[in-house]
Amino acid sequence: MSTIETEEHKALRSAVAALGKRHGRDYDREALWAEAAKLGYLGVNLPEEYGGGGGGISELSIVLEELGAAGCPLLMMVVSPAICGTVIARFGTDAQKREWLPGLADGTRTMAFGITEPDAGSNSHRITTTARRDGTDWLLTGRKVFISGVDIADATLIVGRTEDARTGTLKPCLFIVPRDTEGFQRRRIDMELSAAEWQFELTLDDVRLPADALVGDEDAGLLQLFAGLNPERIMTAAFAIGMGRYALAQAVTYARERTVWKTPIGAHQAIAHPLAQAHIELELVRLMMQKAAALYDSGDDVGAGEAANMAKYAAGEACVKAVDQAVHTLGGNGLTREFGLARLITAARVARIAPVSREMILNYVSHQTLGLPKSY
């Protein structure tokens, strides 16, 4: 892995940045999704034989970061091509690949991802969504919460467990549940978030699914799940870095011009230094994200796991800090709708909480990397 970006990656970055600039912060999510799809950006990580770009998470994270830096992130990129596309490409049956990958790659189909449950939260080992066999079919029952984009997704990849593995260490299995399947209900959660995508609480009440709704192998679920979760963390880092860069750029533009004494406020070090720090931190985080993506794309799932967690943690923190400083730099204007920065205060927190919280990553590094004992 080179720490210097390749010419191809630079070219991709600037092409996506140009697309993002055309759409900007008042973007129409559907229109941007369609245009990004047409240009081949949404499936850059998926296999060429199914219409993807044949690249990896390295390329997909560039796309999301640049759209975010232009003020128009596409959250569903984190779930549809990154988690669901990856899991199906790596572990799906041939029929599942043929059925889903071309659409996920060209953006005509979208898939949401549901693992979080009301009574499990950060502790995925406690999920109780259960799949029971009925002849060759499956009957899936359970509840999910905070699942993004279920209304706009053709299907949701639901993480459950089979009846005979209902308790104990998680032995997950993954099911593709089409949006309008009987018994699959959603209720929109009223979030204090200004975002183009919504979150839902899901109820699965004996949802009948054919045998081929089960992705890959019933016994390889954990491996499959982790294959999708590393890209999710890397893409969340890209989301956070993009948002942090967007906020920082607004603040820098403002600080160069706004003058209330003799010089623009950006000349005061109390304004300039925190902005410089935010820039440094975002740049450092990108390096860790690139390392995680390079490890993942090289097939090193274990190495990628640690780096992806660290990148997601650091990106969430750098994003929250950059947004906070950007809002402050604009004074009263930081809170106006016209400048649109205050809404990022809550949006930035998403990267600290999801898909795995700051504390759970610190736990992971304490135990896995440093070998410290566990408190839970």
Residues within the interface to ligand FAD (CB under 6 A): 79, 113-116, 121-122, 146-148, 193, 199, 350, 353-357, 359-360, 363, 376
Q: Measured from the CB atom, is 113 or 339 closer to ligand FAD?
A: 113
- Could you tell me the smallest distance in angstroms from the CB atom of residue 85 to ligand FAD? 15
Residues 6+ apart with CB under 8 A from 324: 345, 348
Q: What tokens appear for 324 in the block?
A: 């906070």
**Alpha carbons 77 and 84: distance in angstroms, whole number:** 10
What is the closest distance, in whole angstroms, from the C-beta atom of residue 275 to ligand FAD in the complex? 27
- Shortest distance (Å) from residue 372 CB to ligand FAD: 13
Question: 42: which DSSP letter?
Answer: T
Q: Which is nearer to ligand FAD, 185 or 277 (CB)?
A: 185
Would you say 39 or 145 has its CB closer to ligand FAD? 145
Q: 261 vs 376, which CB is nearer to ligand FAD?
A: 376
Q: Which residues pair with 137 in a beta bridge?
A: 134
3-state SS class at 339:
coil
Q: Which is nearer to ligand FAD, 113 or 138 (CB)?
A: 113
Q: Residue for token digits 């700051």? A: 358
Least separation in angstroms between residue 93's CB and ligand FAD is 23
| Minimum separation from the CB atom of position 9 to ligand FAD (A) | 27
Residue 5 three-state SS? coil
Helix (H, G, I), strand (E, B) or coil at 332: helix
Rounded CA separation 23/14 (Å): 14
Residue closer to ligand FAD, measured from CB, 215 or 255 = 215
Q: Whole-angstrom Cα distance, residue 317 to residue 334?
A: 20
Task: State the residue number with the nearest CB to ligand FAD.
Answer: 121
Contact (CB, 8 A) for 228 and 83: yes
E strand spans, the chain: 111-114, 130-134, 137-148, 155-162, 172-178, 184-188, 199-209
Q: Which residue, 19 or 351, is less far from ligand FAD as judged by CB?
A: 351
State the minimum distance, in angstroms, from the CB of residue 315 to ligand FAD.
15
Least distance to ligand FAD from the beta carbon of 346, Å? 9
Q: Report the alpha-carbon distance of residue 89 to residue 73 in Å, rounded.
A: 24
